């Protein structure tokens, strides 16, 4: 079965610290895509970072990096130097087969709270 | 970047009425759009896949007659909640395939801002 698991309902971090949001996935497809989205209280979904199953290197995008451990089926998001504006809900998602016409499967999300 | 416009952002209606939510791709053509539903502080659950010019594909457990999806053009998909009841109150969000992630060849889904439906 295709599944995304985020085990941290909430995470708390202070400004300027790094934080890791956990994500594990389950799929039998050899090709898949992994995504992280941020959802602030306004509700919009903001794309952060992508990792393909065949990508050799971990994805990075500014302060975001994805710690991809394929054998462990994990795709943790690392946010460096947290900012107050990072407070939001974060979703890990997977696209099975990584075909363009395939919908994303989302985890339950992790609420990140950044304090000053 | 690509923009998906969703309207209305908030709607309050009486029980028994129908509500239409529009999802438009503003600067790209979307042959496929996806409709998700999200309860407060919960995950996004896929409701249906909307394909231009053909019938939508609904996920198991989603009532086709309750949630009517029409994808009449390459830039517009609509979700109509028919005979809405309080249990249909939720956050509905659409998404469409955007361009490629630079250097990866992967397509990113761009989401609309969502529509919060409250049925009284």
**Can you give the pLDDT at residue A50?**
93
**Can you give the pLDDT at residue A99?**
75
Taking contacts as CB-CB distances below 8 angstroms, the residues of chain B near A56 are: none
Contact B46, B60 (CB under 8 A): no
- What's chain A's Rg over C-alpha atoms? 14
Mean pLDDT, chain A, as a whole number? 94
A and B: number of Cβ contacts within 8 A = 60
Taking contacts as CB-CB distances below 8 angstroms, the residues of chain A near B45 are: 106
A13 min Cα distance to partner chain B (Å):
19
Residue B115's Cα: distance from chain center in Å? 9
Average pLDDT, 10 consecutive residues per value, chain B (120 residues): 90 97 90 93 94 91 95 92 96 83 67 96
**Can you give the pLDDT at residue B104?**
55
DSSP string, B30-49: -SEEEEEEE-TTS-EEEEEE
**Can you give the pLDDT at residue B101?**
58
**Can you give the pLDDT at residue B69?**
95
pLDDT in tens, A44-100: 999 999 999 999 899 999 999 999 999 999 999 999 999 999 999 999 999 988 776
Return the residue in B10, B111, B115 with the most chain A beta carbons within 10 A, the one to mutate for interface testing: B111
Taking contacts as CB-CB distances below 8 angstroms, the residues of chain A near B41 are: 89, 109, 111
Put simply, the answer to whether B104 touches A50 (Cβ < 8 Å) is yes
Question: Is the predicted pLDDT of residue A112 greater than 70, yes or no?
Answer: yes
> Among residues A81, A84, A80, A87, which one has the least CA distance to residue A66?
A80
Residue A101: how many CA atoms within 13 Å on its side-chain side?
Answer: 8
| Residue B34 near chain A (CB below 8 Å) | yes
**Can you give the pLDDT at residue B100?**
58
Q: Which of A44, A45, A50 is closest, CB to CB, to B101?
A: A50
A105 min Cα distance to partner chain B (Å):
8
| Residue B105 near chain A (CB below 8 Å) | yes
| Residue B74 near chain A (CB below 8 Å) | no
**Can you give the pLDDT at residue B2?**
77
Backbone angles phi, psi at A72, to 5 degrees: -90, -5
Sign of CA dihedral B56, B107, B73, A45: positive
Put simply, the answer to whether A45 touches B95 (Cβ < 8 Å) is yes
| Residue B90 near chain A (CB below 8 Å) | no
């Amino acid at each position: 079965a295709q599944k995304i698991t985020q085990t941290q309902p909430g995470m708390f971090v202070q400004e300027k610290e790094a934080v890791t949001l956990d994500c594990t996935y389950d799929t039998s497809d050899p090709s898949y895509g992994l995504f992280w989205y941020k959802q602030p209280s306004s509700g919009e979904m903001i794309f952060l970072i992508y990792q393909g199953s065949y990508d050799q290197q971990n994805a990075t995008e500014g302060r975001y990096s994805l710690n991809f451990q394929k054998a462990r089926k994990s795709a943790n998001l690392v946010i460096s130097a947290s900012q107050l504006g990072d407070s939001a809900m974060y979703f890990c998602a997977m696209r099975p087969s990584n075909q363009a016409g395939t919908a994303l499967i989302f985890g339950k999300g992790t609420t990140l709270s950044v304090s000053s | 970047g690509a923009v998906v416009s969703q309207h209305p952002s908030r709607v309050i209606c009486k029980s028994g009425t129908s509500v239409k939510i529009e999802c438009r791709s503003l600067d790209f053509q979307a042959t496929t759009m996806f409709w998700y539903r999200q309860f407060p502080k919960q995950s996004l659950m896929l409701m249906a896949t909307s394909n231009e010019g053909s019938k939508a594909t609904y996920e198991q457990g989603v009532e086709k007659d309750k949630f009517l999806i029409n994808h009449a053009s390459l830039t517009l998909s609509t979700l109509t909640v028919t005979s809405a009841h309080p249990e249909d109150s939720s956050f509905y969000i659409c998404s469409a395939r955007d361009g490629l992630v630079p250097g990866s060849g992967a397509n990113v889904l761009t989401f609309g801002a969502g529509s919060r439906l409250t049925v009284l």
